[in-house]
Amino acid sequence: MSIVVTGANGHLGRHVIEQLLEKVPADQVTAVVRSADKGAELAAKGVQIAVADYNTPETFDSVFAEGDKVLLISGSEVGNDRPGQHTVVINAAKAAGVALLAYTSAPGSLSAALADDHRATEKVLLASGLPYTLLRNGWYHENYTENLGPTLEHNAVVAAAGEGRVSSASRADYAAAAVAVLTGEGHENQTYELGGDTAWSFAEYAAELSRQTGKEIAYNDVPGEALIGILTGAGLPEPFALILAGVDASIAKGELVVDSGDLSRLAGRPTTPLADAIATALKG
């Protein structure tokens, strides 16, 4: 019996594995990676490695065993057939008779196109009859703090989100919730709406950046079309720019405010403040 984590070498997956190793022996953890090379660092820690690819269904045939708990981390290739990729994992997990499949989804309140793949995957998972946990992850601090270069260069936070607020949290926070589900009991057939304890606006984000950098950083609220032009002008593919603009439109409507308290409750601690994430990014 093992705890199996797909996408284990991704940003969120690495946090999950790291925190799992604080709670269970390494040989009870299986990391699913696309190549043995990508799993070398994890293997060195004693983690079991399974090489499989969402796009090659047969590679998942022997990944799961009866009684395993599985974390399906949603694929990162937006624009690909992510529901199809996720279905490969769900089908293999069902065939093996796993005890639980947890899926990293999106907030139930989110209507942006970004949520479509998640809703489709949830539908497949619920129809499978597998014991499930929906981890409806809100926005990550790192979506903003990992790319501060342009913001600091132009002394401006540019978004099309109006006065909307975001209940973001760190990847480590969301990983802690996933680990609590994978190592705990009583999470079968539960849906958790996950977000940070404190929602913030982009004006507040700009003010905090100003405070920590000593620069005068403004919030430039622009129309969605203008944001798409700015993002594509910076080299982002248009389909992805459209998705990001759609998320900003959802933020403006209040769809990324998650006030359930589920995240801090599962993590067993308050979520990481945005100010801390900014400080970490500035040091890096």
Beta-bridged to residue 132, according to DSSP, are 101
**C-beta of residue 177 within 8 angstroms of C-beta of residue 252:** no
Give the SS3 label for residue 49. strand
The per-residue pLDDT for range 26-49, each reduced to its tens digit, is 999 999 999 888 889 999 999 999
- What pTM value is reported for the model? 0.96
> Checking DSSP bridges between strand 132-137 and strand 100-105, what pairing results, if any?
parallel
Q: Is the dihedral of CA 131, 136, 141, 143 positive or negative?
A: positive
What pLDDT does 78 receive? 63
- Which regions of the chain does DSSP assign to beta strands (E)? 3-5, 29-33, 48-51, 69-72, 100-105, 132-137, 156-159, 165-166, 190-194, 200-201, 218-221
CA separation, residue 37 to residues 31, 40, 41, 243 (Å): 12, 5, 8, 32
Closest CA to 215 of 280, 173, 278, 135: 278
**C-beta of residue 175 within 8 angstroms of C-beta of residue 223:** no
What pLDDT does 79 receive? 62
The per-residue pLDDT for range 132-189, each reduced to its tens digit, is 999 999 999 999 999 899 999 999 999 999 999 999 999 999 999 999 999 999 999 9
How far is it, in rounded angstroms, from Cα 93 to Cα 180?
Answer: 20
What pLDDT does 10 receive? 92
